């Protein structure tokens, strides 16, 4: 099923994001965790594409498994990294043959050590170019990435939203946001996007907080602002993993409830291939 068609049936979608397991031991762990999450009957699931364009085969193998063996509506992530037009065209054909109908199309990050992104020869520099190319050649339902607190490379949020508009006009059916902890940032971002004529669903991407190290790592990676109250709690409990876990889950539950009550069109959970926290947060929402 195409994700854009799901929107006609439900005003909110709930989805889980996975990454391909690195080895056989992680694959077993992955199977157990996915088993728990599937019981929640997600609207769709998504599988990331290796940073630096690596691990592409693992992404394709996993989307095939989730879509065809488990029967879930599955979205494959795909980036501009390491692909020219011919390869992109062929990869899209391959995914189509697998029965994949949904793509999250991204630029990808520059390789470690470089500050700017270099387009591959005969490839693309921006997600919007990749989206337009795929839209012109295939009938996928396409998602793009959005950054309520601005993409780290963008000089201003205004400029970033200008480029987001190009992504929307190129053919994105929906957008999923980078993780954030401050709902005000999300709602004011959606308002700005609407003012700029971006009218598709902007689904908040949420990471359930489970540990002190995890939250700091992700906040640094994405430049997501940690609200003062949450920061204080995390500092207070930083040497007590159980208390951090509970405070983190309580925060995530409150964050999701607030988003949904104020009209967000669902939640996309960054699961990190772990089920416990996502299940606890999801179940507490009484959907």
Residue from 87, 126, 165, 225 binding ligand FAD (CB under 6 A): 126
Q: What are phi and psi of 179, to 5 degrees?
A: -65, 150
Rank residues 6 and 244 by Cβ distance to ligand FAD and give the closer one. Answer: 6
Residues touching ligand FAD: how many (CB under 6 A)?
Answer: 24
Q: Check if 195 is active-site.
A: no
The yes or no reply on residue 178 touching ligand FAD (CB under 6 A) is: yes
Task: State the nearest-atom distance from the C-beta of 231 to ligand FAD, in Å.
Answer: 23
The yes or no reply on residue 33 touching ligand FAD (CB under 6 A) is: no
Residue from 15, 33, 48, 74 binding ligand FAD (CB under 6 A): 48
Helix locations, 10-137, DSSP H: 24-38, 56-64, 85-98, 127-137
Is the Cβ–Cβ distance between 172 and 202 less than 8 Å?
no
Residue from 27, 38, 40, 51 binding ligand FAD (CB under 6 A): 51
- Residue of 17, 232, 236, 280 marked active site: 17
**Site string (254-283) toward ligand FAD, x via CB under 6 A:** ------------------------------
* Strand-strand pairing, 266-270 and 13-18: parallel
N-to-C CA span, the chain: 22
Is the Cβ–Cβ distance between 108 and 80 less than 8 Å?
yes
Residues 6+ apart with CB under 8 A from 169: 128
Residues 6+ apart with CB under 8 A from 248: 208, 209, 210, 211, 215, 234, 277
Rank residues 16 and 212 by Cβ distance to ligand FAD and give the closer one. Answer: 16
Rank residues 178 and 271 by Cβ distance to ligand FAD and give the closer one. Answer: 178
Separation of alpha carbons 88 and 83, rounded Å: 6
Q: Which stretch binds ligand FAD (CB under 6 A): 28-36, 151-159, 192-200, 278-286?
A: 151-159
Separation of alpha carbons 70 and 49, rounded Å: 20
Is the Cβ–Cβ distance between 10 and 43 less than 8 Å?
yes
**Site string (86-125) toward ligand FAD, x via CB under 6 A:** ------------------x-xxxx----------------
Where does this chain bind ligand FAD (CB under 6 A)?
Answer: 48-49, 51, 77, 79, 104, 106-109, 126-128, 145, 151, 153-154, 160, 163, 166-167, 176, 178, 205
């Amino acid at each position: 099923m195409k994700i854009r068609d799901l929107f006609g049936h439900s005003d909110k979608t709930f989805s889980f994001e996975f990454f391909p397991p690195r080895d056989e031991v992680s694959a077993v762990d992955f199977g157990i965790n996915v088993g728990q999450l599937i019981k929640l009957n997600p609207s769709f699931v998504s599988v990331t594409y290796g940073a630096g364009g690596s691990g592409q085969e693992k992404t394709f193998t996993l989307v095939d498994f989730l879509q065809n063996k488990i029967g879930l509506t599955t979205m494959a992530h795909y980036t501009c990294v390491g692909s020219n037009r011919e390869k992109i065209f062929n990869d899209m054909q391959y995914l189509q043959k697998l029965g994949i109908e949904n793509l999250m199309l991204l630029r990808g990050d520059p390789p470690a050590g470089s500050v700017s992104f270099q387009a591959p020869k005969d490839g693309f520099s921006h997600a919007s170019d990749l989206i337009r190319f795929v839209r012109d050649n295939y009938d996928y339902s396409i998602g793009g990435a959005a950054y309520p607190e601005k993409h780290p490379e963008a000089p201003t949020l205004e400029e970033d939203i200008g480029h987001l508009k190009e992504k929307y006009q190129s053919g994105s059916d929906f957008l999923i946001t980078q993780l954030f902890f401050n709902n005000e940032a999300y709602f004011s971002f959606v308002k700005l996007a609407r003012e700029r004529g971006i009218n598709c669903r902007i689904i908040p991407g949420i990471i359930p907080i489970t540990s002190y190290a995890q939250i700091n790592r992700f906040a640094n990676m994405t430049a997501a602002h940690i609200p003062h109250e949450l920061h204080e709690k995390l500092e207070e409990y930083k040497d007590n993993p159980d208390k951090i876990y509970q405070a983190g889950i309580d925060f995530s539950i409150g964050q999701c409830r607030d988003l949904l009550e104020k009209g967000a069109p669902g939640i996309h959970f960054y699961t990190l291939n772990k089920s416990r926290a996502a299940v606890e947060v999801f179940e507490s929402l009484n959907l």
